[in-house]
């Protein structure tokens, strides 16, 4: 830094002037992948024989939501028919929670699972005979 720069407190940004040391200059990016790798495992769903006809083609909306939850991401499933009954609905939720390794609850008629589990829930619901769609953004 020259006397003039020290006196004014300004640092020159002209091309070719050294700004200081670059801690990343010695790093080499060759051999690194260009994008994120594909998931190491496919989503495997094991559904019991009696559960495959549970949905009967009903349309479900699977969403990822964050609003009003303190920044936490929640996967919601809307459209599960009330005709299944409370016992079957609770059993379904319990089985999904234990298999996915996450928490969840019923919020009225909607199922809520902690985290962004849209892909896993989509495969589960397809295997059970529902017609799920990814809704929202």
The range of the structural domain enclosing residue 127 comes to 55-134
pLDDT tens per residue, range 53-63: 677 778 999 99
In a domain, 27, yes or no: no
In a domain, 17, yes or no: no
In a domain, 18, yes or no: no
Q: Identify whether the C-beta of residue 128 lies closer than 8 Å to the C-beta of residue 55.
A: yes
Report the domain count for the chain. Answer: 1
In a domain, 38, yes or no: no
In a domain, 117, yes or no: yes
pLDDT tens per residue, range 3-47: 655 566 666 666 666 666 777 778 887 887 676 555 555 666 776
In a domain, 23, yes or no: no
106: domain CATH number?
Answer: 3.30.780.10
């Amino acid at each position: 830094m020259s006397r003039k720069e020290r006196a004014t407190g300004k640092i020159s940004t002209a091309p070719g002037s050294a700004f200081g040391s670059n801690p990343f200059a010695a790093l080499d990016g060759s051999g690194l992948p260009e994008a994120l790798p594909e998931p190491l495992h496919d989503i495997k769903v094991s559904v019991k024989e009696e559960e495959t006809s549970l949905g009967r083609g009903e349309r479900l909306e699977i969403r990822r939501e964050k609003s009003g939850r303190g920044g936490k991401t929640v996967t919601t499933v809307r459209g599960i028919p009330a005709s299944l009954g409370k016992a079957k609905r609770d059993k379904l939720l319990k089985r999904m929670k234990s298999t996915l390794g996450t928490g969840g609850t019923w919020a009225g008629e909607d199922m809520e699972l902690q985290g962004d589990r849209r892909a896993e829930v989509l495969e589960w619901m397809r295997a059970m005979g529902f017609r799920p769609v990814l809704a929202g953004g």
